[in-house]
Structures are given as C-alpha cells and as structure tokens.
Amino acid sequence: MEMPVPDAQVISRKPELVARLRRVLPAEAVIDDPAETRAYECDALTAYRCAPLCAVLPSSTHEVSQVLAICHELGVPVVPRGSGTSLAGGALPTADSVILGVARMNAVIETDYANRFIRVQTGRTNLSVSGAVEADGFFYAPDPSSQLACAIAGNIAMNSGGAHCLKYGVTTNNLLGVTLVMMDGEVVEIGGAHLDAGGLDLLGVICGSEGQLGVVTEATLRILPKPEGARPVLVGYDSNEVAGRCVSDIIESGILPVAIEFMDLPCIRATDAFSGAGYPDCEALLIIEVEGSEAEIQEQLAIITAIARRHNPVELRESRSAEESAKIWLGRKSAFGAMGQINDYMCLDGTIPVNTLPFVLGRIADLSREFGLDVANVFHAGDGNMHPLILFNANQSGQLELCEALGAEILKLCVEVGGCLTGEHGVGIEKRDLMLVQYDVGDLEAQMRVKDVFDPRWLLNPAKVFPLAVSAGRRG
Amino acid sequence: MRPESEAELSELIRHTETALQIRGGGTRGAFFPAGGAVLETGGLSGVTLYEPAALTLVARAGTPVAEIEALLSEKNQRLAFEPMDHRTLLGTTGTPTIGGVVAANVSGPRRVQVGAARDFLLGVRFVDGEGHIIRNGGRVMKNVTGYDLVKLMAGSWGTLGVLSEVSLKVLAIPQAEATLVLRGQGADACVADMCSALGTPYDVSGAVWIGPGVAGDAPERRIRVEGLRGSVAYRIQRLAETLPGDHSIVEGAESAALWQQVRDVTPFAGQEAPLWRISVKPTDAPLLLAALGRAGVAHKTICDWGGGLVWLMVEGASARAGVVRAEVSALGGHATLVRAPIAQREAVVMFHPQAAPLERIAAGLRARFDPRGILNPGLMGVAAIAEPAA
C-alpha cells in the first residue's frame, strides 16, 4: 500500500510538538515513547502498520481544540481515532502524524426520553450508548458487529451500519447533531435536538467523511423505544438463487423485517462446526427477524413463512423460545470468529442491488475458483450489503497480494452490477485506490472541494479515501 | 430556459452569463431576492429505473411526483417520507417535481417514523455552477464510498448544483392505517402526550396538534399508526388505553384524508397571512408558542412531528420576523418563512440566519460548487439583510 512520503521537517520538530502538547494536556495524555506509540500503529486492518510521531488522548472538547490548534500551527497531520476497530485502515497513522484518540471522552452528557435523544462524548462505545438507555426501554439502532468495542466517533466517521439497518437505517439516519472541532481548533455546533438542522445539510456530509473534515467530540443521537419482542426464523435452501428469490419476494410483499441475513455453504459449514448452532447442511441459509408484540410477530411470520415455503426450503425453523432464537443467531454472530479460526481472512463489504444477488454470488464462486482462494459469504441480504470473506494464509508469501487482487475483482463486480465498493466499513486506505472504479476524477474533485472548505491545508487524515494521485496537488 | 437533457443542462450552465433561478414545478414559491433567468427542469423527465424488489427508483429530476407515485402504487409502493404538495397552501399551479422535493428536502408527517426525504435519497446526478456533471451515491441502500454529497444536495435548494437525476429508496404501502383523535387538549398537555406516544413501542407514524381555530374551534390531537391489519388494530388500541382522554378512532381512507390535510397544511390555505415553518425540539413547541403569545405575536398553529415542526401563521401583514426568529433562536431551532406578502419577502430572508462559523462553511461550499454565484444567488445564506424588529 503506497503512502505519502512522511514530511522530514515535521518529524524533526517532534520535540517541540510534544513539548507544546504537554503544555495543554496532562502528562499521561501525550504518548511519545516509541514503545508505547506502537499500540497505535494500526487499527483492525492489521496488514498495514506505521507508528505515529505521538498519540494524544484528550479528555474534553477544549483539549481537542488546543491539540488541533497546535498541530495546525506546526503543519502536523492529525489522524483521529475512535476505538481503532476500522477494517479499512481509517485510523492508520503516517510517520509524521499525531494520533488523536477520543477514547477517554466517553461520558453521557444528556438523555431526554420525551424528545428521544441522547447526547454523548464520541469516545463512548456503540453498545454502551444503548446500555445507557436500555433500562428505560430505549436503544440506539445502528449496531455494527464490532459494537462492543467501536466508538461513536468512528461510527460517525464511517457512517456505520449493522444487521438491523434494513428497518432502522445507518448512522446518518440516526444522528441529530455534533460538536465538531475544526483543524484550526475552532469549535462548531451543528444540528441539535431538533429533527432537521437548518441551512445546508452539513451533518449529512460530515457523517461518513472518515475523520477528514473535523474531529467530532460530542454527538446527539436519536434513540428509539425498544420493540415488545423479536423473533427469527431460519430457512435453508439448496441454491443461492432460490434463497435470493425468496429475499426479493419477501421485500416485494411489503413486509419489512428488521434483518434478513444470508449465509452460503462454506460459511454455514464453518460456523456450524465452530458454534454448534445445528444449522442444516445446505447451499444457502436465511435468518429473518421480525419485531413487535406476540400477535404482531405471528402475523408477520405467517406471511414470511408462506413465501419461504413457496420456494421449497430444505428446512424452515421457527423459533419457539428465547433459547431457540439465540441458537438461530448463534452461528451468524460467530461467523467471523469461526472463519478466523480456520484461516486468515479478508472481509469485503461491497453493496449490490438486492435483485442481482444470485448473479453476483455465482460470479464470486467463479472468481474464487479462478484465483484458487475460498470465499465464504455472510451478509445483510435485505439491503444488499455483501460481506465476502476471502480465506488466505498470511504466512505464505504472495497470498495477501493474491487475496487483495481477488478482493478488488469482487468489488469491481459489485460496482458493475450497480452497487458500490463499501456499504458500511468505509474506504480508508483499503479501497482508496479503487475509488476510480466507481467514480470518475470529476466526481472525486467535487468531494475534495468539501475537504478544501473544512480543512484547507489537508492535515486531517490526509492520505485516506482519495487515490493519492488524485489528491496529490492538495496534500502539500 | 428548459434543457431537454443533462448534457444540454451542462452546456447551458457553462455558457450562461446571467444568474439562474432554478425551477422544478414552481409550486413552492421560493423567495428570490435577485432577478435572473428562470431555468426549468421539466424537460429532464422520466423514470429511468424501477426495481420494486430492490425498493429502488431512479428518475430524472424534472419527473412529476404524481407520475412517480402512480407508478409506485401499481406495485403497492410509495415515497414513504410523504412529501407535501404545496399547491393548495400557496395557491400555485405548477406540477411538483421529484427534483424539487429533493432540493428542498420536503418531508411530511411520517418524518417522525421513517425519516426525511434526505434519508430516502440514495444517489444524485447534478450539474454544478461551472457546468460539470457530478455523480454521487448510487442506487443501493448502504453506501459509504467517499463523501456523502447526496445528503448535502438534499435541502440545498439548487444553490450547489442543479439536480438532473435522483435515486430513491421506496417502501411498501401498508395494509392498514388508523388515527386516534382527541379534541380539546391544550398545547402543553398534547405535546407531552405525543412525546410519550412516540416513546412507546407502537411505532407511531404521525403525531400532530392542530391548534384552536384551525380545523374547528377546539384544538385537535391526531396520532397515527400504519402496518399489517392485526398489528394496527392492536397498537391503536394500546395507544388509546395508554394515553389520557376520550378518543375516537378513524380508519382507512378517512384516516388518510386527515393526514393529507396535515401534510399539505390545507387549513392555512387561501389566506395571505405570513406563514412560518419552524423546527424545534418537540417539547420546546409549547414554550415557543407561549413566548410568542407573551411577545404579542397573534398566531394560529399546527404542531406536527410530535411538536418538532411548528407551522405558525402570524395574524396581520407583518411576519414579525425579528420576534419570531429571536424566540426560535433562543430555543436552538430555526424558522423558514414559507409565505408572506411581497413587501415582507423583500425585507425578510427566507431561511433562518445561522451561527457565523456555519454561514462561513456554507458560503465556502457555495463558492466552490458555484464559483460564479449564478445558482439561485441570495436564496440561502444571506444574513446581511436587515430584518424589521417586530
């Protein structure tokens, strides 16, 4: 992965930078010992590593503002970091950068049930946002798989989704307001507790901008009342195509389940062996979950199972208890762990139009044979967000490169059928150089204009999202 | 000017030497402080893709909303964000277009449940102020590939570019709907009830308080649920038991008619009095109305979105912009002037002036997407015009 040549002049000024940072932050909040900065050398995309100049862990918006003002003055690039769970390298440092971690900022500032929002500092983890309101019957809807660890800051940066966004939307649909610290240290309030912010939809473009427009230190998030109950049904088919048609038919029927998850044979076998979920041995498995009161659940499941039966399932398992529900979800929820146990894997997340599902799965199987690497598929079928897992051996020379080449082919396929490179993980460095597959230079130019306005010197997370050649003239 | 294709639109903008007023159907009556040539998008018309099983529709920006709704209804689907038709309220005669809906981020009563127009917008094609054709987003539900200019374009009122094509998520029309109606409740108690209804698991899809003297002498509270027949019956019953008061339940087409009235703000139609569209935190709505009363602003109101959207009709010829905007600002919301006599339109900016840093960012974006300042100049972001105090 090509990264810009670090600025030697910036590196040479490290002592001055660290001294200035220590003047505005408590001593332990500035980490510059190379033994300790190693903890920040990568995120969950562990194939790429680079230690930063130093890492800072501010405790307030004011401290973030002071840090950014100093870095701005000295011309030092800043890489914002939530919990470091990015699969796309969104928090990968460069050797001349400061890592700005918001992990210490995890307080709940306000909860308001009448107006249905919570305001938090963005270092707070996704799951603990729901945790703060669940005793009162509310939850925060976006639920990325990493929700135990990932921070709201990162969720906003990547516009994270999750398994339940078919019904509840992704981060941008659940974000009401932010406190944004600009690269020069200015603190800006955008939106608030009301539903639609005034003026241009700046909130909409900040969400998903991968930490390149400013550092979001506080967020007002929409919370929702918890449904009375939820129940999954498991359906197995002997072909991906039939399972894909079943998904289409359910959606076309007008029912909107909270989740429709899809697993293919390699994934079913691996997860079943790992978790003992007792899945049927078949080509394709759907887990469809609906919500509501008991009667409402019955009403929806009656329609869904009738559609599912029309397609002759090899198995149709309706849960009759909380234990059975948990067992249906068990395999799906342990899918990534299961794959990790048998192999190294790379997880893609291109999105495709739902109706192209069977075609795309067929083409992925062809590509898998062509490249000689196994691919397991587990994904959110309702919204077309694929998660092909390419299995490879990281210790065998050339395999990572082969795996990346296959990944690129699969993502190109997603774009070809009318989809996109990434549905919820973000571009980061991982898909940066594929951006021209989806957009032409003019389209990217329009996006970069936004960064020019927020961060004219391109100091925030500068080597991400845009192909280096495309952003070269701007990065100084 | 009425381009017939995106390429023509691009050429036209590239070579224009005058400012342009961008017009879809011309039904919303935006206040343009400056003159300029009218650029109509009606020539860019037609649905280019409709995949009911993928819940996706792509249409050229000038496509009439009615054409889209007719097509969707054949497959029992709809635009779930319930866009308002402004013709009744404003007495306009054009044909509402999908590009206009998106450009103004027009969302109706269901916004409290499913989100705004911008939440259903999956992709855009537009032509910027220099004539560049730009594409962003796509036609899939989840897409975080690069910056989200899709949201930025929604609600930018043509000031960053002229939309040529939009891609939207659509949803099924539910089997049934029902509305709980209660008369005689004041704003305070009603907003509190609407907030608690929206905080139940009963998936409320509309909650409005129609103030006294608007749809009858007594104020009226309406709360709507939609979905499968059995589920609607269950939830409306639970709400009737949970909320105080002696309700009546209205179902089916009769319920739909009640909400069309709210969506289109028809009780305020056929009048000249200035009308504000105010966004505040729902529980602030009664505080705002009380404050305006104290300040001597006589008004009638419809509080939709559980209180979060206040339609405020000011009695008399003056919009009372100074007072209204000061009270709204004090609560952290914003007020858009939707209708006003000509003299007021010339004296009052349509959109709520924002904090200086936000104005600066917005001005920076406009300067980069429209460096010559030819797209709806002065419509958004003019804070400099002096507003009459009261």
d(CA B382, CA B390): 20
Max Cα-Cα span within chain B? 64
Q: CB of A166 within 8 Å of any CB in chain B? A: yes
Three-state SS at B313: strand
Are B221 and B170 spatial neighbours (Cβ–Cβ below 8 Å)?
no
Predicted local distance difference test score (pLDDT) of residue A340: 80
Looking at the partner chain, which of A226, A252, A300 has a beta carbon nearest the beta carbon of B53? A252
Mutate to test the interface with B, among A196, A248, A417, A450 (most CBs of B within 10 A): A196
Sign of CA dihedral B202, A167, A340, A235: positive
Distance from CA of A428 to the nearest CA of B (A): 9
pLDDT of the residue at B382: 64
Residue range A445-453: mean pLDDT, rounded: 98
Question: Which carries the bigger pLDDT value, residue A424 or residue B32?
Answer: A424
Q: Do A193 and B332 touch (CB under 8 A)?
A: yes
What residues does CATH 3.30.70.120 cover in chain B? Answer: 267-347
**Cα distance from A426 to chain B (closest Cα, Å)?**
6
Kind plus residue range of the DSSP H or E element containing B22:
strand B20-23
pLDDT of residue B221: 98
Q: Please identify among residues 3-32 of chain A the ones whose CB lies closer than 8 Å to any CB of chain B.
A: none
Q: Could you tell me how many CB contacts below 8 A there are between chain A and chain B?
A: 270
Calculate the average pLDDT of chain A.
Answer: 94
Task: Flag if B118 and A204 touch (Cβ within 8 Å).
Answer: yes
CATH fold of A109-225 reads 3.30.465
| Interchain proximity A199–B143, CB inside 8 Å | no
Task: Round to whole Å and give the CA distance between B348 and A195.
Answer: 24
CATH architecture for residues A343-416? 2-Layer Sandwich (3.30)
- Whether the pLDDT of residue B386 is over 60: the answer is no
Measure the CA–CA gap between A307 and A246, rounded to whole angstroms. 7
Cβ contact (<8 Å) for B53 and A201? no
Q: Between chains, do A439 and B135 touch, taking CB under 8 Å as contact?
A: yes
Token duo for residue A248: 């289409």
Domain(s) labelled CATH 3.30.70.2740 in chain A stretch across 343-416
Q: Give the integer Cα–Cα distance in Å for A365 and A335.
A: 19
Output DSSP code: residue B105.
T
Sort out which chain A residues have CB atoms less than 8 A from B107's CB and list them: 196
- CATH, domain B176-263, list 3.30.70.2190, 1.10.443.10, 1.10.579.10, 3.40.50.1370: 3.30.70.2190
* Residue given tokens 């989809």 in the structure block: A419
What is the CATH number assigned to the segment(s) B6-172? Answer: 3.30.465.10
HSE-CB at A18 with a 13 A cutoff on CA atoms is: 18
pLDDT band with cut points at 50, 70 and 90 for residue A382 = confident
Q: What percent of chain B has pLDDT over 70?
A: 97
Percent of residues, chain A, with pLDDT higher than 90 = 84
CATH 3.30.70.3450 holds for A230-336: yes
C-alpha to C-alpha distance for B5 and B60, rounded to whole angstroms: 9
Return the bridge partners of B276, or none: B312, B337
**A367/chain B closest Cα distance in angstroms:** 23
Q: Does the distance separating the beta carbons of B281 and A254 come in below 8 Å?
A: no
- A248–B381 C-beta distance less than 8 A: no
pLDDT digits (tens, 9 = 90+) for A138-192: 999 999 988 999 999 999 999 999 888 888 999 999 999 999 999 999 999 999 9
Q: Which of A114, A205, A466 lies at the smallest CB-CB distance from B151?
A: A205
- CA dist B382 → B34, B41, B158, B228 (Å): 12, 25, 15, 47
Q: In CATH, what is the architecture of A8-103?
A: 2-Layer Sandwich (3.30)
Q: What is the pLDDT of residue B387?
A: 40
**Which residues on chain B are in Cβ contact (under 8 Å) with A87?**
none
CB contact under 8 A, B149 and A450: yes
Question: How far B371 CA sits from the closest chain A CA (Å)?
Answer: 12
- What's the gap in Å between the CA of B50 and the closest CA on chain A? 11
B148: tokens are 């989200």
Which of A293, A142, A290, A294 shows the shortest CA–CA distance to A224?
A142
Cross-chain residue pair B136–A447, CB shorter than 8 Å? yes
CATH of B267-347, one of 2.40.30.170, 3.30.70.120, 3.30.460.10, 3.40.50.300: 3.30.70.120
Residue by residue, what is the 3-state secondary structure of A282-332? Answer: CCEEEEEEEECCHHHHHHHHHHHHHHHHHCCCCEEEECCCHHHHHHHHHHH
Q: What tokens appear for B49 in the block?
A: 């893709």
Check CB contact of A352 with chain B, cutoff 8 Å.
yes
Interface test with A, best of B57, B84, B113, B145 (most A CBs within 10 A): B145
- Distance in angstroms (rounded) separating the CA atoms of residues B333 and B335: 7
Residues of chain A with CATH 3.30.70.3450: 230-336
pLDDT digits (tens, 9 = 90+) for A383-430: 899 999 999 998 999 999 999 999 999 999 999 999 999 999 999 999
DSSP string for residues in B120-183: HEEEEEEE-TTS-EEEEE-SSS---SS--HHHHHTTSTTSS-EEEEEEEE-EEPPSEEEEEEEE
pLDDT for position B389? 39
Nearest 10 degrees: Cα torsion A107, A108, A110, A112: 170
Per-residue buried b or exposed e for B247-286, using 16+ beta carbons within 10 Å of the residue's own CB: beebeeeebbebbbbbbbbebbbeeebbbbbbbbbbbbbb
Give the distance from residue B240's alpha carbon to the nearest chain A alpha carbon, in angstroms. 16
How far does B382 lie from chain A, in Å, by closest CA?
11
Measured in angstroms, the CA of B194 and the nearest CA of chain A are apart by: 9
Q: Point out the residue among A115, A170, A466 whose CB comes nearest to the CB of B142.
A: A170
Say yes or no: A230 contacts chain B, CB-CB below 8 A.
Answer: no
Per-residue pLDDT of A302-324, as tens digits, reads 999 999 999 999 999 999 999 99
| Structure tokens, B139 | 């036609």
pLDDT tens track for A224-243? 999 999 999 999 999 998 99
Q: Are A129 and A120 in contact (CB under 8 A)?
A: yes
Cβ pair A453:B148 closer than 8 A? no
Residue A291 pairs with which residues in a beta bridge?
A230
The count of other CB atoms within 10 Å of the CB of residue A411 is 25
Q: Residue A101, Cβ neighbours under 10 Å: how many?
A: 25
- Tell me the nearest-neighbour CA distance from B168 into chain A, angstroms: 13
pLDDT tier at A438 (50, 70, 90 boundaries)? very high
Which among B147, B284, B309 is the nearest to A209, CB-wise? B147
In tens, the pLDDT along A97-147 reads 999 999 999 999 999 999 999 999 999 999 999 999 999 999 999 999 889
- For residue B34, the model assigns a pLDDT of 65
* Helix, coil or strand: residue B37: strand
Are the CB atoms for B376 and B21 separated by under 8 Å?
Answer: yes
Q: Is the pLDDT of residue A86 over 70?
A: yes
* Residue in A202, A205, A295 closest to B230 by CB: A295
Tens of pLDDT, residues A247-299: 989 998 989 899 999 999 989 998 888 888 899 999 999 999 999 999 899 99
Show Cβ contacts of residue A215 under 8 Å, excluding neighbours closer than 6 positions. A64, A68, A78, A80, A100, A102, A153, A180, A181, A460
For residue B34, what are its two tokens?
Answer: 């400056």
Residue B384 pLDDT exceeds 70: no
DSSP H or E stretch at residue B81: none
Contacts of B198 in chain A (CB under 8 A): 116, 225
- The predicted pLDDT at position A342 comes to 79
Is B143 in contact with A420 (Cβ distance < 8 A)?
Answer: yes
- Give me the residue label for tokens 């918890």: A226
B212 band by pLDDT with thresholds 50, 70 and 90? very high
CB of A220 closer than 8 Å to CB of A192: yes
- How far from A108 is each of A128, A131, B327, CA to CA, in Å? 10, 11, 28
CA distance B116 to A375: 38
CATH 3.30.465.10 domain extents, chain A? 109-225
SS (H, E, C) chain A: CCCCCCCHHHHHCHHHHHHHHHHHCCHHHEECCHHHHHHHCCCCCCCCCCCCCEEECCCCHHHHHHHHHHHHHHCCCEEEECCCCCCCCCCCCCCCCEEEECCCCCCEEEEECCCCEEEEECCCEHHHHHHHHHHHCEECCCCCCCCCCCEHHHHHHHCCCCCCHHHHCCHHHHEEEEEEECCCCCEEEEECCCCCCCCCCHHHHHCCCCCCCCEEEEEEEECEECCCCEEEEEEEECCHHHHHHHHHHHHHCCCCCCEEEEEEHHHHHHHHHHHCCCCCCCCEEEEEEEECCHHHHHHHHHHHHHHHHHCCCCEEEECCCHHHHHHHHHHHHCHHHHHHHHCEEEECECECCHHHHHHHHHHHHHHHHHHCCCEEEEEECCCCECCEEEEECCCCCCHHHHHHHHHHHHHHHHHHCCCECECCCCCCCCCHHHHHHHCCHHHHHHHHHHHHHHCCCCCECCCCCCCHHHHCCCCC
For A460-470, what is the mean pLDDT?
96
CATH 3.30.70.2190 range(s) for chain B read 176-263
Q: Which residue of B has its CA nearest to A209?
A: B147
ipTM passes above 0.90: yes
**Facing residue for B134 by CB, picked from A226, A353, A446:** A446
**Given an 8 Å threshold on Cβ–Cβ distance, is B140 in contact with A383?**
yes
Read off the pLDDT of residues A43-59 as tens digits, 9 standing for 90 and up: 999 889 999 999 999 99
Tell me the C-alpha to C-alpha distance, in Å, between residue B348 and each of A196, B27, B52: 21, 20, 44
Contact residues, chain A, for B228 at CB < 8 Å? 296, 299-300, 303
Judging contacts by C-beta atoms under 8 Å, the chain B residues touching residue A424 are: 142, 144
Instruction: Tell if the CB–CB gap between A422 and B145 is shorter than 8 Å.
Output: yes
